[in-house]
Chain A
Amino acid sequence: MGIFMILFTLLGGITLSAQSSINGTLSRKAGTIETTFLTFITGSMFLAIFILFFGQGNVLGILEAPKWQLSAAFLGTMYLLLTVMAVPKIGVIATNIAGIIGQLVIGMLIDHFGWFGSLVISFDLKRSFALLFMVIALYFIYKGNKRSSKESCA
């Protein structure tokens, strides 16, 4: 069961990178804001059907939830909009690597300070090495991208 679940999650990652390339392609003709808008609309439609059949929570609980928790929707929107903007300029892999690094760095920060009621995991030596590797990754992807764009021009 465990292995099956891991494969299933790999599929989740695959769909996410497929999403960023598809959206990048659509945005060239339809526009950035329009593409993000469409993604959200179709996503809500599918989730609405999903919830009707499988939802076990309480959608109306949104009305009583603390407002700061609801503000996360602006962050979700920002993520998608910025991704759609970046893909046509630097490509899928660079956008994803930079995005993941931003995510991990802030994730470590949240862990360290235990913000938003998360478990406190302090920033240690292992995590500083992890940070170093991320900087190396960012450097390589920048260099690798520069080289392939040079090759495609030549």
Chain B
Amino acid sequence: MRYFAYILALLAGSALSFEGAIYAELGKTIGQLETSFYNFFMGSIIMGLLWLFFGKGKLSYAVEAPKWSILGGVLGVVYLTSIVISVPFVGVGITMVAVIIGQLVMSMVIEHYGWLGSKKTRINKEKIFAVISMIMALILIN
């Protein structure tokens, strides 16, 4: 079951790459913010349908949940916007490296302290090695 979750995450990343390449084309014709909006808008429709047919959870929990826990959507928008703004200044390569490093270091800090309701798991040698290897890979790709 654990293996399976790793495969899901790998798949998620591959979807993101295809998406990015295709949206780059779409962005040229309709604009980048508009492309992001299209993505979120269509995503809402797709997930709305999935929820109607397969939703087993409790959507109404969103109303009683602590407010910080429903900020996911806004954060996604901040992420997209930061990329759209910085690519013209520093290029795609440096933008991606900076995003990924920010993401990796922050994930480690979040888990170490168990912030934002995540399960608290301490940083260990292996995790630091993993992040260093990722940074090496990024340098080699660029």
Contact = CB atoms under 8 A, between A and B. Distances in A.
Interface of A: 1-2, 5-6, 8-48, 50-51, 54-59, 61-62, 65, 68-83, 85-87, 89-108, 110, 115-118, 126-127, 129-131, 133-134, 136-138, 140-145, 147-149, 151-152
Given A25-B69, A79-B15, A131 B137 contact: yes
A75 to B, nearest CB: 4
A89 B1 contact: yes
A24 to B, nearest CB: 6
Interface in B114-142: 115-122, 124-127, 129-131, 133-134, 136-138, 140-141
A26 B65 contact: yes
Given A9-B102, A25-B69, A94-B9, A39 B117 contact: no
Interface residues of B, number: 109
A8 B81 CA distance: 10
B132 to A, nearest CB: 8
B98 A10 contact: yes
Contacts of A138: 6, 130
4 tightest A-B CB contacts, nearest first = A31-B57, A57-B31, A13-B102, A102-B13
B34 A37 contact: no
B8 A85 contact: yes
